[in-house]
């Protein structure tokens, strides 16, 4: 009666800690969720910055003129010399967040947990049978 309980216990423990929905996989997913939330907050801040820039360009002609000048544009009738490599556009490099690759959690497959549990149960059963065999041989029980 001990063997089925041992198999069930080992299966339950392995599933709880290392299974597909176990603690190890859950911690991995929580860490990935935190990374994604942090990236989302950075993207939201960048979006707010873009919206402020867009609003100032739509409403303020001077800001539009300065921004156009930073991008290398001029007023009609102006002539200017553009020297390549001096970096005309300053402060225009807005980060657009990080590229995050989702990685599945590492876990022990259910079939492997089942095999480990059954092998352990068979080992316990074999140990009991060997113990009983030696006990019967030492006591002489079962002899005619």
Locus of tokens 């020297």: 83
State the helix-helix crossing angle for 23-59 and 2-18, rounded to 10 degrees.
20
Which candidate, 112, 70, 75, places its Cα nearest to that of 93?
Answer: 70
Residue 3: exposure state from Cβ atoms within 10 A (0-12, 13-18, ≥19): middle
Chunk the chain into consecutive blocks of 10 residues (it has 144) and report each block's average pLDDT, rounded to whole numbers: 81 86 89 89 90 90 82 76 60 58 78 88 89 84 62
Predicted pLDDT at 105: 75
Residues 6+ apart with CB under 8 A from 75: 65
């Amino acid at each position: 009666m001990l063997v089925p309980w041992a198999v069930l216990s080992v299966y339950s423990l392995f599933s709880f800690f290392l299974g597909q929905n176990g603690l190890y996989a859950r911690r991995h997913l929580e860490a990935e969720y935190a990374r994604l939330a942090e990236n989302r907050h950075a993207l939201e801040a960048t979006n707010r910055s873009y919206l402020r820039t867009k609003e100032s360009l739509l409403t303020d002609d001077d800001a539009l003129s300065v921004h156009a000048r930073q991008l290398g544009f001029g007023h009609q009738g102006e002539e200017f010399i553009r020297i390549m490599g001096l970096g005309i556009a300053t402060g225009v490099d807005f980060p657009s967040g990080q590229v995050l690759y989702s990685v599945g959690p590492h876990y022990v497959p259910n079939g492997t947990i089942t095999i480990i549990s059954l092998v352990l149960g068979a080992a316990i059963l074999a140990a009991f049978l060997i113990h009983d065999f030696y006990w019967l041989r030492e006591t002489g029980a079962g002899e005619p």
